[in-house]
């Protein structure tokens, strides 16, 4: 199993509860299997090493570290990434998100929002997107004492 996050599998649905202060990153409801589970079940976990190339003829996956992993059968479970609208002020000139700009898809995003909320005396946030995930982010931030505005475009 290859994953770019430094964890094994976890319940991403629980991230809303972590942001709201109703659960913690170490909560058993979040981490689906302890790291020992992988060893005990014969699963080699390459955590923190993003897959970058697939050679289906050679049956190998190349990783960011340069590691090459061979396979007999391949399952691609890529998850998703946050969509960021093309708005000035979200990204630095190198394309990276500016400080204080977060997606809401993984533990790193959630920890970043929690740290930002807890480090500011009068934190304010704008959540772009009023779908389920956006409203959960707004609720979680509000639970942390952050003044939140939600921006959502109407359905046409």
| Residue of 156, 94, 29, 140 lying closest to 148 (CA atoms) | 140
Length of the chain: 156
pTM comes to 0.82
List of residues 6+ apart from 26 with CB closer than 8 A: none
pLDDT in tens, 37-96: 999 999 999 999 999 999 999 999 999 999 999 999 999 988 778 888 888 999 999 999
């Amino acid at each position: 199993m290859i994953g770019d996050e430094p964890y094994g599998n976890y319940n991403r649905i629980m991230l809303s509860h972590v942001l709201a202060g109703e659960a913690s990153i170490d909560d058993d409801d979040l981490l689906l299997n302890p790291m020992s589970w992988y060893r005990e079940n014969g699963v080699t976990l390459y955590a923190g090493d993003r897959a970058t190339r697939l050679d289906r003829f050679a049956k190998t996956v190349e990783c960011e570290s340069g590691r090459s992993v061979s396979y007999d059968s391949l399952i691609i479970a890529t998850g998703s990434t946050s969509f960021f609208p093309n708005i000035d002020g979200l990204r630095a000139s190198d394309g990276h998100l500016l400080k204080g700009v977060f997606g809401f898809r993984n533990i790193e995003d959630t920890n970043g929002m929690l740290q930002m909320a807890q480090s500011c005396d009068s934190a304010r946030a704008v959540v772009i997107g009023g779908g389920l995930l956006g409203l959960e982010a707004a609720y979680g931030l509000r639970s942390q004492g952050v003044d939140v505005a939600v921006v959502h475009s109407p359905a046409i």
